[in-house]
Structures are given as C-alpha cells and as structure tokens.
Chains A and B, each alone.
Chain A
C-alpha cells in the first residue's frame, strides 16, 4: 500500500522546521584561496561542522599535503583551517573520501 504515493502520511504543507538535514544542506564548507606574495598562496577551509576535530584534521592535512598550516579562530566564522599553498582540490577529495562529506556541501572558491 505504501508504494502508492498518495497514501503516504507525509503532509506537504506542514512546517519545515529546522530539521538537521536542511540545516546541514545550508551549511557549506567553503574552501578558498588567497594570494600571497609572489607565487605563494594560502588555502582556507571555513565552515567545518562542529563534529569534526579540527586539530586532528589539521594534522592530517599537514601530513598528507606536505604543507604547513594553522588553526585560526574567527569571531563570526568559528575556527578556520589555513594551509600553505593551493590545496583546494586535495582538501576537497580528502573531505569527500575520508570525512564522508557530501560533495554538494563543499564550495570551492577562487580562480
């Protein structure tokens, strides 16, 4: 019976509320790049979910990408991971593969 869509007990007019799903859909992980002097660049990862241990992530990032990095606390945006060099695609693939983050949740900025 439940195969028939009309029989589902789902009320389309009910208030959406802030279910966890829609909230997490809205929260993007922003991966940005910033130019420094010369050929040097900086990658920032902003908006990581609170459930992630950023300190450990930073450690893994640093080791995997062979770069230095730091954890910066921002008043509005929370803690942001900073990495040296352009690590955007690498961060993305690592987050998707190891972190179980949905690809749609990640936004890569920059050129």
Chain B
C-alpha cells in the first residue's frame, strides 16, 4: 500500500515537471505548429481532459483500480496537459513581449522560414488584420490562415472550458489539487478580474519590406514610407540607418521608393529593420513600440508614450568605409 502511495506521489511530481517544462515562452512555437497541423486531436483532448479528471478521482478512491489503469492514465494526463497548455500559451505570448525580437511579427516569420514562403507571408498579413488594416490583395491562402487563427481561438476556449470543468473537481473529494488545476484556476480568475490583462494582446506588426531588384546592381525598397509611418519615424532617419548598416548609398526616387546600391534580399533588409526597431523604436523599459524620437541639441532622445521613460539613443554613424570600385573613378 505504501508502495502505491509512493508511486502516486511520484506521478504527481512527474506531472508537475511536465507542466513546468511546458510553461515557457518557447511554447508559443509549439502552439503555432499544432495550430496548422492538428485540427481534430485538440478537440478530442479537451474531452479527454474532462474524462481524465474524474479518472483521477477514481484513482484516489480505489488505488488498485488505478494501478491496473496506470499506463492508460499516464497517457491521459499527458493529453490533459496539452489541452491546458492552450490556456497558458496565451500567457506565454504575453510573456514573450519581454523578448523584443519575439514581439514583432518579424520574429515569427524567421521561425517559420523553414516552411513554405507563402505561409510566412500570411503570418505577416495576419498581423495586419489584427491591426485592422489590410495590405494589398489577399489570396485564398491568407483567408485560410485567418480561419485557422479563429479556430485556434475557439479551441483554446474549449480547452479552457474543459479546464474549468476539471478545475473545481477537488472540492467534493479529499484528494489534493494538482498543479494543472491550480494553474487553470489562476488563469480563470485572472481573466475574470481584469480582462484587459488576459485579452488579446495587440501585437506590433510591420509590413514586410517589399524589396526587388532594379537592374543588376541596385535594389528597390518600395514601401519605406509606409514602414516609416508605422514606426512613427522620419524616413530620413531610417534611411540613414539603413545606409550605415548596409555600408552603401542610394536615393529616393519619384514615387517615394528607396533605391539602394548593391544587391540585397528581402530578409537582409528585414534583419536590418528589425535591428532598427530594437535600437530606435522600442522602449527599453516597457518594450512598447509607441515612442517618439526627438532631437535636443544634437542628441537623439527616445521618449516612450506608454510609460513616459526617456532614454538617449546613439546617433547613426556610418563608420569606416573601405574603398571599393575603381580608384580612378574616385579621383575624378
């Protein structure tokens, strides 16, 4: 009998370990993946979660029965974890705001890069939709992605409901509550008391830079003006940064497009833009992108609109420029 109890305890510890390992921001990635691939299993798991809780009850009352079922139950617990993982996943997303790189849609894009190109574009567009603006024509793939998003939201809701059912199940019995149950309880209370905390987070998104080749040696960055407007930055400042980072020069053509000397790909420009955002747009204190850049006697200051903090940012320096090209042309 004591042996069994020990095993029971071990199992609970195991459960906790599983939970802990799942409750981290990297879970976001997992969730994203499951969103696309699994449709049915999650619904199932919500049901299983409901089943699993009573099963746990039974186990407490009749240890022998539980012993017989042990293997099966273990599996169920795992599934339950998955179902409830949907709830903390949202928390994880909120937590991800801490990581500057993650909070932009760019971050997502990078992760998904390994998949088809269409998919990550739709991720971008998804972000746009959340902002309530639409960028260009949407292809059927996009709509599909949007539907996926909704489905996922509904499903996580279902998971929550399942969790809520299971949550108070320890009340009548004399067994101990598990970590999962307490976790879902915390999230439920949090959601009830301050909906703005648990509500859908408005994500900071930026359209992907549309970059194309102009002839053999020049690159056209078409939507600079749009991106600058979204970041609330002067195009000159952004362009200066781009040129300094890429180590080239260029100009703006008639239709507000930036022509950069040299060959650059979209992802390269994107990486530089991301660095610009980290350096000159996001508030270091609260990670809010809602900031303004002001110049006070030759120094740039970044003031956050959300938390009011001010910090100085370094001026853009292009640094050493090695001589490329012909020396004769240089002299002329």
- Determine the residue in chain B with the shortest Cβ distance to A35: B262
Given A35-B262, A111-B272, the answer on whether A74 and B320 have CB atoms closer than 8 Å is: yes
Min CB distance A6 to B, Å, is 26
Chain B residue contacts of A42, Cβ below 8 A: 322, 324
Min CB distance A77 to B, Å, is 5
Question: In the complex the two chains form, what is the Cα distance from A77 to B321 in whole Å?
Answer: 10
Interface of A is mostly: strand
Judge whether B322 and A111 touch: CB under 8 Å. no
Judge whether A111 and B324 touch: CB under 8 Å. no
Residues 246 to 265 of chain B near chain A (Cβ within 8 Å): 246-248, 262-265
Q: How many residues of A contact B (CB 8 A)?
A: 18
Chain B residue contacts of A82, Cβ below 8 A: 322
Chain B residue contacts of A37, Cβ below 8 A: 324-325
Chain A residue contacts of B271, Cβ below 8 A: 111
Judge whether A109 and B247 touch: CB under 8 Å. yes
Interface of B is mostly: loop
Question: In the complex the two chains form, what is the Cα distance from A36 to B262 in whole Å?
Answer: 8
Q: Would you call B132 an interface residue if the criterion is a C-beta within 8 Å of the partner chain's C-beta atoms?
A: no
Judge whether B324 and A30 touch: CB under 8 Å. no
Contact-size category for B: 10 to 19
Judge whether A44 and B272 touch: CB under 8 Å. no
Min CB distance A56 to B, Å, is 20
Scoring B residues 312 to 332 as 1 if CB is less than 8 Å from chain A, else 0, what string do you get? Answer: 000000011110110000000
Scoring A residues 8 to 43 as 1 if CB is less than 8 Å from chain B, else 0, what string do you get? Answer: 000000000000000000000010111111000010
Q: Would you call A87 an interface residue if the criterion is a C-beta within 8 Å of the partner chain's C-beta atoms?
A: no
Chain B residue contacts of A34, Cβ below 8 A: 247-248, 321-322, 324
Question: In the complex the two chains form, what is the Cα distance from A78 to B322 in whole Å?
Answer: 13
Given A35-B263, A111-B271, A111-B272, the answer on whether A46 and B246 have CB atoms closer than 8 Å is: no
Chain A residue contacts of B319, Cβ below 8 A: 30, 32, 44, 46, 77, 109
Judge whether A35 and B248 touch: CB under 8 Å. yes
Chain B residue contacts of A100, Cβ below 8 A: none
Judge whether A111 and B245 touch: CB under 8 Å. yes
Question: In the complex the two chains form, what is the Cα distance from A42 to B247 in whole Å?
Answer: 10
Judge whether A111 and B320 touch: CB under 8 Å. no
Question: In the complex the two chains form, what is the Cα distance from A35 to B268 in whole Å?
Answer: 13
- Determine the residue in chain B with the shortest Cβ distance to A70: B322
Q: Provide 25 A-B residue pairs closer than 8 Å at the C-beta atoms, listed in order of the A residue.
A: A30-B320, A32-B247, A32-B319, A32-B320, A34-B322, A35-B246, A35-B247, A35-B262, A36-B324, A42-B322, A42-B324, A46-B319, A46-B320, A72-B322, A77-B320, A80-B320, A80-B322, A82-B322, A109-B244, A110-B245, A110-B246, A110-B247, A110-B272, A111-B265, A111-B269
Known: A44-B319, A80-B320. 18 other contacts (CB 8 A): A32-B247, A34-B247, A35-B246, A35-B248, A35-B262, A35-B263, A36-B324, A37-B324, A44-B322, A46-B319, A46-B320, A77-B319, A109-B247, A109-B319, A110-B247, A110-B272, A111-B245, A111-B246
